[in-house]
Chain A
């Protein structure tokens, strides 16, 4: 039975949230932080007996969480989920505490409940044992703020620790050699998702890899087992692709869930079509969908989200409501999360915010903007707070050289000098760039928006804390609604 400790912890969280709200602040993590002080096992108690999905990995967590949430909701479920960024113990706990009301209401009404929880990859090892998810999605492992987490192998160890502390069904990205490694020792509970080899971007001579002067830094060129260089028959982006090791035989596993995509189409276009598939041969299920969130990395996010929902249906015995058909169809109604390709209208002008936190994210965003037919301006913001990683040298790991920049380039953030230099060194003319310090970022936004032509889009690429700043500017100056309301 719930203890005094439990109730007191919940009460403390509510009081904290009230206080924060009175101060006009968002309360996405602090209430949980306070509550956990009173009851360290609070999260475990909150998750006990519930059906939880966790999403972890370096990139795509927020979008995937968002997609899974929307699919479940579309399939008739009540979903408790955490807001972007609040993905440590404190944030996940906060979301569960304030989700209790919805859960109870739903249970009274006889509705089914699912908890969809984004979890930080470095924190996963510690919190998976409390959440005890039924399904755990691992998105990918790309370099991310190495000065904070150490190296990728270490991050994978932390995820492995989390996976071993629960008995979740594991959904792994078949195309990521670093992630698919997690298969070994967990074979029976692993399901793979990925792209079909034919749909990988660089498998085809008609669409050759546009590489700059230097190849972009890759995170995993060599076999994690025997240290031999992988051979790739196809690549999607970064180190993702159809890899195999000639020496030890380690190779990409064929995924159960996969995407088929016509490579002659432009993934930067909105509403592009792709096919989601489950299985092969006579039992293959295939569904063509139009995805509202463009960008090739969203292929992976989409298929992993559908896979997670279908597997959950199989595990909890709701194959009817969570059929492959229904889950895939529900994807079409997904909306972008803030900072994830959401197009926002400001008067007759349009902006699109693409959060970029690490090399592969920036590579994807630049390549997306280069392909977007409505791209007229690009506004890049680079900060170096602790949440961003203090080291900004990763911008040099990205292949800017092969990407075409829009005509107008704006640069801000505390590290505007570094970013400006990076862009100029890639071949963009200095005279195309307006670079201003962080204190002037709001005015620069005004200028960029007023410079833009109706019908065209200004693409804004902030990193984490500059995105928070940008968001509050959009709320204050452009009266957009804030995220926690």
Chain B
């Protein structure tokens, strides 16, 4: 057991198109916290026209993009890769989807003028576009990350930047409670969505770097799925990440100190 080589296969979907607001930092986090544990990482970009086969991967990452770019991939994602992605999700594949990626997994996106854009419909959520954009630092509380040994283990930090309001159906659970920020729709106090092993959030940019427990959680469930429930993810220090989190807290308390 100790000597077996562990491998994590990451599928980065549309890295050439969905690459806004630092989403690639999430992939770098998965790679780093896996590699530091001696886990071999295989990263595969899957873009328009590329084959997607769930048996090739342990984690799928889907970010957000500019509107123009999202329109380019919609057909490929919904019509071409759609059925396979849906199957993968039903079979328990681990997904992390941010903002545009989150919206695209849902049933539809309704634009300001009422036009409904058909989305994948892999999870029971829908999104309505509104004029006012939520742009701010965010803090969430995610119960599934609670670890009694660490004080702020269930705290997630993020930055949201979206004009879509997402509403969850009964088969989908929110990922976290909003402590600061707007979250899914600015109304119900919840952020993101969880369905099977799919994790969706509006938290852009360096979501995983700032939340190493979330990174570890994704790696853990992906590897347990592949190597069996008895697989134990090796311990790994979070000192650097904790330093960054402390700096962020400090910033939140003091605000901008520069001119």
> Are A393 and B159 in contact, CB atoms less than 8 angstroms apart?
yes
Residues on B with C-beta less than 8 A from A395 are 22, 206
Q: How far is the CA of A394 from the CA of B137 in the complex (A)?
A: 14
> Are B206 and A393 in contact, CB atoms less than 8 angstroms apart?
yes
Residues on B with C-beta less than 8 A from A194 are none
Residues on B with C-beta less than 8 A from A435 are 243, 247
> Are B240 and A424 in contact, CB atoms less than 8 angstroms apart?
yes
> Are A468 and B136 in contact, CB atoms less than 8 angstroms apart?
no
Residues on A with C-beta less than 8 A from B31 are 213
Any A CB within 8 A of the CB of B132: no
Which residues of chain A (371-393) have a CB below 8 Å from chain B?
A: 383-385, 390-393
Q: How far is the CA of A16 from the CA of B160 in the complex (A)?
A: 39
Residues on B with C-beta less than 8 A from A415 are 247, 251
Q: How far is the CA of A352 from the CA of B60 in the complex (A)?
A: 42
Knowing A215-B15, A393-B21, the reply to whether A425 touches B258 (Cβ < 8 A) is: no
Q: How far is the CA of A472 from the CA of B66 in the complex (A)?
A: 37
> Are A420 and B28 in contact, CB atoms less than 8 angstroms apart?
no
Any A CB within 8 A of the CB of B165: no
**Which residue on chain B has the smallest CB distance to residue A413?**
B258
Q: How far is the CA of A248 from the CA of B220 in the complex (A)?
A: 46
> Are B206 and A153 in contact, CB atoms less than 8 angstroms apart?
no
Total cross-chain contacts (CB, 8 A): 143
Q: How far is the CA of A385 from the CA of B257 in the complex (A)?
A: 9
Stretch at the interface among A36-44, A82-90, A144-152: A144-152
Mask for B240-259, Cβ within 8 A of A = 1, else 0? 11011111101100001111
Q: How far is the CA of A254 from the CA of B230 in the complex (A)?
A: 62
Mask for B115-136, Cβ within 8 A of A = 1, else 0? 0000000000000000000011
> Are B205 and A396 in contact, CB atoms less than 8 angstroms apart?
yes
B158 smallest CB distance to A (angstroms): 9
Residues on B with C-beta less than 8 A from A396 are 22-25, 28, 205-206, 209
12 further A-B pairs in the complex, CB-CB below 8 A; given A214-B28, A384-B256, A414-B258? A385-B258, A391-B135, A393-B206, A394-B22, A394-B205, A396-B205, A416-B247, A417-B251, A421-B240, A421-B241, A438-B257, A468-B259
19 A-B pairs within 8 Å (CB atoms) are namely A146-B161, A214-B28, A383-B256, A385-B259, A390-B135, A391-B159, A392-B205, A393-B206, A396-B25, A396-B205, A415-B247, A417-B247, A420-B244, A425-B28, A438-B257, A465-B258, A465-B259, A466-B258, A468-B259
Residues of A within 8 A of B (CB): 146-147, 151-153, 213-215, 217-218, 221-222, 224, 227, 229, 383-385, 390-397, 401, 413-418, 420-422, 424-425, 430, 435, 437-439, 465-466, 468-469, 472
The 6 A-B pairs of least Cβ separation, nearest first, read A393-B205, A417-B247, A396-B22, A396-B25, A393-B22, A417-B244
